[in-house]
Structure 1
Amino acid sequence: MPYSSPQQDNLAQRRVAFWFVAPALALIVLFFFLPVLVGLLLSVTDFDIYALADAQQSRYVGLENYRRLLEAPLFWTALKNTLYFVAVGGPLSLAVSLIAALLVNHPLACCKPLFRSALFLPVVTTLVAMAVVWRYLYHPRYGFLNYALSWFGVSPIDWLGDPDWAMPAIMLLAIWKNFGFNMIIFVAGLQNIPSRLYEAAALDGAGEWQQFRHITLPLLAPTFLFVTVVTLIGYFQLFGEPYVMTQGGPSNATLSVVLLMFQEGFKWWNMGFAAAVAVVLFVLILAGTWLQLRLRRT
């Protein structure tokens, strides 16, 4: 039997490992890195509907799209709406998810699988079907929300037609639709906390709030980091809810950065300008993720 050195065995193992991961790497390059590269290239051109028929109609314009973007009032409106949605909707979604996870994971809770499935159901339900139901709930005259508010003497609110209430209404829908995913992640994190820690704390006289503050929250820190980053990325990409419910109105009160990118790219066919919007959004998401990781390390 021929002798092979440890270095040769290690090289052979690396080759085998490479061929195992090569298909996944090829898919990542094809569906992630290549589109990102194409988007960067498009953002420095004036690619539009005419260039679809003849690529020579597209010209290199350098940073002109970015200059136009920074000077466009509509972009700043969309950015303000998106940041408002992330800053308010993100923490609310995390809070609702954590509360739901604590309730379904409580030792006294019954029918846990049933409640977990029911609370997770909105995540897998199509947005169009939910929009039909929520439009009825938000109806200014016959909606259940205004009907419930009338019990407290509150006048009817035009939830989707009033610029002051349209974004909170979209936010409520988004939180209800997405909190189930984070809830499942929190439940998994809670189940990984050893029960003996709670037993020891109870023997030392710690109440439920003290146990939650000094045991649950610190040990959920890695889970919080993952959920926060995923929620941040998802909420920065706000698109489906305003597109289905309000089309960005009224008066651009629910216009998001992604919806603006969609309108510029597929309604007005300003592909170069839309690609510049996508690059700016990518930088914002990257900066937000980096900030979250930095705060976790400190």
Structure 2
Amino acid sequence: MIKNRTAEVTAALILVAPFVLIYAVLFIYPTIQMVAMSFTNAPLIGEGEWIGLKNYTKMFADRRFQTSVINTFYFVLLTVVPNTLIGLGIAMMVNRLKGWQQSIILALFFLPYILPVSVVFRIWNWMFDMQFGVMQFPIEFLFGQRVPVFRTPALFLPAVAFVTIWWTCGFNILLFLAGLRSISPEMYEAASLDNAGRWKQFTRITWPLIWPVTALVLTIQLILQLKIFDQVYLFVQGGRADPSMVMVQYIYTTAFQKSQGGYGATIAVALFVIIIAMSVLQFTVLRARGEK
């Protein structure tokens, strides 16, 4: 028994060791280095002097850092819940289709997700173009004139959020569709026999049973949108970045453009803590909601 147990543990360690080694090299070690660097005034490349908590003191008094935090949370508010609800709604409609119709519609919704961000930027930069963009027609109808959306601070983040939802919604649809397919049709048949309408079937059967999938989608979306960078960086080109600065963009500007590696690492540590805290808090709340 002891020999068998030892053999099982040894085999498990051998199988797990490559993952642990890669995880340590690619995540744990860089994280430790990032935290250590945040206590120095090091440039992007090279050593720096130990300055203690001066970077953190500077960060909390930094107006641009405060702006980036506000914009990041505003973007999360614009995208996480709407993206989840839209994905759920489309998945429920797609789930009612059968055969080749379902495959085609699902492929059309998932197609944007496989596009690189540079292609998404080109598509929507053209769509919102002041001269020939097709999106300017509804904008002109609503505002009475054509508007440079990506040059207007009040419209910039909502427009990028709209593009982001269009781009990433396909993945959410797939997750929700997998959850919907796991629900037995017999449950809906039994509910129909009890004269339960569609809304009651959704609130009593569909929503509770796909809640774990909903919690997963919300958590994934929260982490992804807290790290928003690509879309904002591309769409802000040619405009003033400060009003629309998000946290990852500020890290990039500070560390890579200004070569302030120590201060950039400090902002990265702050983002790291925010992501962990928000993810744990959301997961705990959602799990508690699912257990009720």
Amino acid at match of 1:255: M
Task: Please name the residue that 1:47 is paired with.
Answer: 42
Structure 2 residue runs without a partner (length 5+): none
Task: Please name the residue that 2:70 is paired with.
Answer: 80
Task: Please name the residue that 1:158 is paired with.
Answer: 148
Measured in 1, the distance between the counterparts of 2:256 and 2:165 equals 28
Quickly say closer, same or farther: Cα 1:150–1:297, change in 2 above 3 A: closer
Quickly say closer, same or farther: Cα 1:161–1:25, change in 2 above 3 A: same
Describe the superposition over 1:188-211 as per-residue Cα deviations: whole angstroms up to 9, x where unpaired: 111111111111111111111111
Amino acid at match of 2:183: I
Taking the TM superposition and a 5 Å limit, the aligned residue runs for 1:249-268 are 249-250=239-240, 252-268=242-258
2:265 corresponds to 1:275: yes
2:43 corresponds to 1:38: no
Distance apart, 1:233 and its partner CA: 0.1
Measured in 1, the distance between the counterparts of 2:186 and 2:245 equals 49
Match of 1:15 among 4, 10, 13: 10
Measured in 2, the distance between the counterparts of 1:140 and 1:238 equals 25
Describe the superposition over 1:72-110 as per-residue Cα deviations: whole angstroms up to 9, x where unpaired: 000000110000000121111111111111111114685
The answer to whether the Cα contact below 8 Å between 2:41 and 2:262 also exists between their aligned partners in 1 is yes
The answer to whether the Cα contact below 8 Å between 1:162 and 1:250 also exists between their aligned partners in 2 is no
Task: Please name the residue that 2:19 is paired with.
Answer: 24
Distance apart, 1:11 and its partner CA: 1.7
Amino acid at match of 2:104: L
The answer to whether the Cα contact below 8 Å between 1:93 and 1:175 also exists between their aligned partners in 2 is yes
Amino acid at match of 1:62: G
Taking the TM superposition and a 5 Å limit, the aligned residue runs for 1:180-259 are 180-247=170-237, 249-250=239-240, 252-259=242-249
Match of 2:58 among 68, 88, 94: 68
Measured in 2, the distance between the counterparts of 1:161 and 1:43 equals 34
Distance apart, 1:32 and its partner CA: 1.1
The answer to whether the Cα contact below 8 Å between 2:139 and 2:147 also exists between their aligned partners in 1 is no
Distance apart, 1:288 and its partner CA: 0.7
Distance apart, 1:13 and its partner CA: 0.3
Quickly say closer, same or farther: Cα 1:160–1:152, change in 2 above 3 A: closer
Q: Which moved more, 1:228-237 or 1:128-137?
A: 128-137
Amino acid at match of 1:25: V
Measured in 2, the distance between the counterparts of 1:267 and 1:289 equals 30
Measured in 2, the distance between the counterparts of 1:48 and 1:40 equals 14
Identical aligned residues as a percent: 28
Q: Which moved more, 1:84-93 or 1:288-297?
A: 288-297
Quickly say closer, same or farther: Cα 1:273–1:152, change in 2 above 3 A: closer
Measured in 1, the distance between the counterparts of 2:282 and 2:74 equals 17
Distance apart, 1:296 and its partner CA: 2.2
TM-score by length of 2: 0.94
Measured in 2, the distance between the counterparts of 1:156 and 1:195 equals 49
Distance apart, 1:150 and its partner CA: 3.7
Match of 1:179 among 169, 185, 196: 169
Structure 1 residue runs without a partner (length 5+): 1-5
Task: Please name the residue that 2:89 is paired with.
Answer: 99
Distance apart, 1:133 and its partner CA: 1.4
Amino acid at match of 1:281: L
Q: Paired residues, what number?
A: 288
The answer to whether the Cα contact below 8 Å between 1:123 and 1:178 also exists between their aligned partners in 2 is yes
Measured in 2, the distance between the counterparts of 1:107 and 1:138 equals 33
Measured in 2, the distance between the counterparts of 1:67 and 1:145 equals 44
Distance apart, 1:12 and its partner CA: 1.1
The answer to whether the Cα contact below 8 Å between 1:83 and 1:236 also exists between their aligned partners in 2 is yes
**SS of structure 2 residue aligned to 1:140:** coil
The answer to whether the Cα contact below 8 Å between 1:85 and 1:235 also exists between their aligned partners in 2 is yes
Amino acid at match of 1:147: F
Task: Please name the residue that 1:288 is paired with.
Answer: 278
Measured in 1, the distance between the counterparts of 2:163 and 2:12 equals 45
Measured in 1, the distance between the counterparts of 2:23 and 2:107 equals 31
The answer to whether the Cα contact below 8 Å between 2:140 and 2:147 also exists between their aligned partners in 1 is no
Measured in 2, the distance between the counterparts of 1:297 and 1:93 equals 20
The answer to whether the Cα contact below 8 Å between 1:44 and 1:60 also exists between their aligned partners in 2 is yes
**SS of structure 2 residue aligned to 1:169:** helix
Measured in 2, the distance between the counterparts of 1:284 and 1:249 equals 28
2:104 corresponds to 1:114: yes
